[in-house]
Amino acid sequence: MDNSLAIHPDQYTKGIAAEGFTDIGSVKAFARLAGGEFRFTCTGGVVSVLFYGNRVVRVAMGVGGGAPELSRDKHVLVGKPEAVAVEVAERDDAVELTTAALRVVVRKAPLRVSYYDAVTGEWLAGEGERGMMFGSKGEVAAYRTMLPEDRFYGFGEKAGFLDKRGEKLSMWNTDVYAPHNPETSELYVSIPFFLTLRGGRAFGTFLFNTFKTSFDLSGDSEYRMHADGGQLDTFVFAGPSAKDVVSQYTALTGRAPIPPKWALGYHQSRYSYETDGEVRELVRAFKEKGIPLDAVYLDIHYMNGYRVFTFDKSRFPDPAGLIKELRESGIRIIPIVDPGVKADPEYPVFREGAAGSRFCGFADGSLFYGQVWPEKSAFPDFTDGPVREWWGDLHAFYADKGIEGIWNDMNEPSVFNDSKTMDLDVLHKNDSQPATHRELHNQYGFFMSKATYEGMARQMAGRRPFVLTRAGFSGIQRYAAVWTGDNRSFWEHLEMSVPMCLNLGLSGVPLCGADVGGFAHDSNGELLARWTQVGALMPYFRNHSEMKAIRQEPWVFGSEVEDVARKYIQLRYRWLLYLYTLFAEASRTGVPVMRPLFMEFPEDASCYGVSDQYMLGSQVLVAPVVRPNVLKRLVYLPAGDWVNYWTDEKVAGGAHVIVDAPLDTLPIFVRAGTVLPLATARMNTEQPVEALELHVYLSADGSAEGTVYEDDGVTFAHGEGAWYEEKLTATRLGSGEVEVRSNVVHGGYEPGWGERRVVVHG
Ligand code: GLC
C-alpha cells in the first residue's frame, strides 16, 4: 500500500498488543537434569535454562507444550554449554540459579525470569507484568521490562541511527531496491541479536530463531521480542562491558577469520565492467593515475546468459589469461555468483542439480522456479550438506582460473515476484530435518555463503578465500563480508552507512561496508570525495554503482575529486597494518574493527547516541563529513587528550570542538598515548611495505602504546603459529628524547617490512 489507505482508521492499534497470546503460566514442577539443564514445567508449557558459561545463559520455551529442543545448532551455534558451578536455591515463590557472575531468578506464579549480576546484585534484565507467551498460530513472544535510560544497539543490518530505542524492527531477509529509509527495517541480513546499554553497563540478548522475528522497542516500560514460529529461544550475555557482550555473542556464533589482506585493499566495481577490454582499460587507468587498487568485480554481464559458472565467450574469451595478467600486477578479479540457476536442460549446472535433487522444491517433489536475471531459474537447497558440497565444488571453475574471491548476491533469495522471494511452503532438506522456507528463509544466504567459503577453501590449497555476501544470518561472519546492498548516491545514505556498519559490527560482523559513492542514482564529485574518505577508514572499501547511474570511478569528476580520492585510497594503504591488526583482534575476541564511541567510553553518556563518528580500534576517532557544502564540523571528543591527525594540534577532550574539514580533509583524531603503526603507501597489497612508520603520540605523562600484527596475508599458516605480533611502547626520557621499545610477543612469522621510521608528533 503506498497511498493513504495505509493509514485508514481500521489499520490502527495502540501499544504493543498481545491479543490471542497465552501466557506460559505458573511453574508446576522444577527439575535439574543431567547435562546442566534446569527444567520448569508450567501450566502452559516447558521452559529450560542452560548455562553456556558463567555469564551466558540460554532460556528457551518449547512449542506445543513440550520441552524445548536444545541440541540443534542449525549451523549457527558453535559455542557449547560449559559445565559451570550453579548454586540452586528453591523457595516457595522462586528458584534462583547462581553462577560466579550471573543470577537467574525464576519466579513461579506466573513464570517470570530475571537476570542479575551475581556479584553486585544489580538487576540486568527481566520480565515484568508480561513474560513468555505463545500464540494460536505458532507464534511466540517475550516481554521484558525497559528502564528509561536503556539504549539498544545491534540488530544486524538496520537503517536509521545507532540507538534503536523507540523503533520497531523486523527481521526478514529482503532485496530492497527502493531507497532505504529509516523505517526500512527488513533488509538483506537478519541478526536477531542486540545489546542493551544502561549507564556504562551492557548486556546482550540473542533470539535464536530463524523464522521472521521482530523487536518492538517503541513502548515506555517494556519491549517485546516476537517470532512467527519455532521456539522462543533466547541467550543472555551478561557483559559487563559492551566488548564483553560482543565477545560472548561471537564465542557462541563464531568469529570472522582474518581476511586475506587483499580483501582490505581498495576495490572497484560497476554493474558492469562488461568485457575484458573494459577491465584492462580500467586497471590501466588506475595505474596511470597512481591510484592503488586490489580488486575488480565482474557483475552479471560476465556470464553466458546469466548462467553462473560460465563466462560469455565473446566478452571474456580468455578469462584465465586475463586473471593471470591482472594477478601479475597485483590485482584480483571477483565474479558475482547468484543462487538462481537458469532452468535450461542443456546447461550442466541445471542438469546436475535437477538430476541430483539438489534444488529447492515442494512436498510433492516438484521444483520451485522463480524469475531472476537468467529468467526461469531453480535454486539450490543450500540447507542440505551434500548440496553445499556440490555447490562448493562447482567453484573449481573459478578457483582453477586463479580466482580467490566470490561475490554472493540475490541470496535472500530475491525473486522477481510479488513476495520478492521463494514460496514459503517450499520444503528444504535441511540435513535430513525437513523444514519450510518460512522457517529457513533468513538462513538461505548464510548457507549459500557457507557453501561458497568452504568450497573455495577446498579448492585453494591453503589460501584464504574472500566471500562477499548481501544476505546473511547470525554467524555469517565466519564465512563472508557483508555489504549493505543497494544504497543510493544520497548524502543521507552516506550518513546512514556509518551507524549501519557500527551496528553490524556490534552484531558480530566486523568486515562490512557500503557501496562507496552510492549504487543507484547519480553520484557527484563532492559526494564521491566525502564517501571515499570515510570508506577509506571503514572495514570494507568498495566503490560500486549501477548501470543506469553515471560512472563514478575516482577520476570521473575532475582533478580536484580525483586528488581527494587518491589521497584517501593511499591513506587506506598507509593504514592497512593498523586495520589488519584490528582484524586479527576481531578474529580472537569478536570486538569489531569499527566501534561506536560508547564501546571505548562506556561511562560517557554523551557517546551513547553518536551516529556520525566512530572509533577505529580503541585509539583513533573518525568524524566524517556527511552533508554537502560542509567545510567545518562539530566533533565530540570524549575525555582525554587528542591529536588532530592532519595538523598535530593537541585538543583537550570532554568537549565538542569545531574542526576544519575542507573537501580534502576527513577529520581524524588520535588518542594521546598511542603508537600508531602506519606504512608507506603502495599500489596494492602485493607490493612490499617499504617502511614501517611508528607514529608516536605521547600522553601528558610522556608515554604511548601500540600493537602491530602481521602474517603472510594470504594463507592459513597463521593458524599454525606463523604470525607476528609486536607491542610497542614509547617513553619520553628526562633528556627530552623519546625511547621506543618493541617487544615481540609472538615471532612465528618474519614481517617483510623494509626499514623502520619513528615519527614523534608534537
Ligand atoms: C543487485 C546487487 C547489485 C548488483 C546488481 C546486479 O542489485 O545488489 O550490487 O550490481 O544486483 O548484479
Q: Going from the N-terminus, what domains does the chain have, and what CATH number goes with each?
A: 4-253 (2.60.40.1760), 268-338+382-409+444-579 (3.20.20.80), 594-669 (2.60.40.1180), 674-761 (2.60.40.1180)
- 407: part of which helix (H) or strand (E)? strand 405-408
Residue closest by Cα to atom 3 of ligand 1: 486
Q: From CA 398, how far away is CA 309, in angstroms rounded? A: 7
Looking at residue 5, its pLDDT comes to 86
Question: For the CA atoms of 558, 560, 565, 567, what is the dihedral angle to 10 degrees?
Answer: 140
How far is it, in rounded angstroms, from Cα 512 to Cα 448?
18
Which pLDDT score is estimated for 13? 62
Pick the catalytic residue from 486, 553, 562, 711. 486
The set of protein residues with a Cβ atom below 6 angstroms from ligand 1 is 271, 299-300, 336, 409, 470, 485-486, 519, 544, 546
CA of 103 to the centre of ligand 1 (A): 48
| Cell, residue 684 | 596494492
Residues of the chain with pLDDT under 50: none
Sign of the CA dihedral running 499, 500, 506, 509: negative
Which residue among 175, 409, 515, 710 is the active-site one?
A: 409
- Who's near 84: CB < 8 A, 6+ residues apart? 36, 51, 53, 54, 99, 100
Query: What are the grid coordinates assigned to 672, written together?
Result: 594521546
* 409 is annotated as an active-site residue: yes
Report the pLDDT value the prediction gives residue 220, as an integer from 0 to 100: 95
Ligand 1, atom 4: nearest CA belongs to which residue?
Answer: 271
* Model confidence pLDDT, tens digit, residues 206-231: 999 999 999 999 999 999 999 999 99
pLDDT digits (tens, 9 = 90+) for 539-566: 999 999 999 999 999 999 999 999 999 9
Q: Report the DSSP beta bridge partners of residue 595.
A: 615
pLDDT at 15: 54
Rounded to the nearest 5 percent, the helix, strand and coil shares of the chain are 20, 30, 45
Mutation choice for ligand 1 from 269, 271, 420, 484, CB with most ligand atoms inside 8 A: 271
| Residue written as grid cell 628526562 | 734
pTM of the entire predicted model: 0.98
Give the C-alpha separation, 23 to 25, whole Å.
5
